[in-house]
Amino acid sequence: MDAPKPRLLIDADACPVKAEAERVATRFGLEMCLVSNGGVRPSPNLLVRSIYVPAGSDEADKWIADACTPRDVVVTSDIPLAAKCLAKGAQVIKHNGEVLTAANIGMILAARDLMADLRAADPFLQASSGGGGKPFAKADRARFLDNLDRMLRAASGRN
């Protein structure tokens, strides 16, 4: 009996690379799960499954963290979710193409927590930060496609 195929699990709320991920998953013939609280249009692609979780804080994250396995690739920019998925052995990539690993997640979590503490302690920093990171660029999309292809190739045993 063949080993189960990897899946692509996507934290779909506010993910700008769903269409790109679908093209790559389809090329590999892999199931792709779009996990969201709703508002994500279902795909007619038979390999794409839309999973709608109840509204609420982190419900999509909880579903992904519970469902992921060591064979899966997860797309998320949520650092705590990424850490949970990595702990379960899944591979993780952010929508900008940054690959998160067991080797780099600790430092990324620490930096995230430090910045949250700094923003909480300085009301002027809160007012000037404006939220969000750098804008999503064409280079981010290209890096995402390249790294996702590489990760799915490895997960599928097609090196």
Per-position DSSP letters for 141-155, written without gaps between them: HHHHHHHHHHHHHHH
Q: What is the rounded CA–CA span in Å between residue 28 and residue 8?
A: 11
Q: What are the domain boundaries of the chain?
A: 8-103+143-155
Q: What is the pLDDT of residues 105-122, one digit of tens each?
A: 878 777 776 777 677 777
Q: What is the pLDDT of residues 68-89, one digit of tens each?
A: 999 999 999 999 999 999 999 9
Please state the pTM of the whole predicted model: 0.86
Q: What is the rounded CA–CA span in Å between residue 98 and residue 133?
A: 14
Q: Name the stretches of the chain with pLDDT < 70.
A: 1-2, 113, 117, 123-133, 159
Helical packing angle, 105-121 and 79-87, nearest 10°: 150
Report pLDDT for 128. Answer: 54
Tokens 């934290």 locate to 11
Helical packing angle, 138-155 and 18-28, nearest 10°: 30
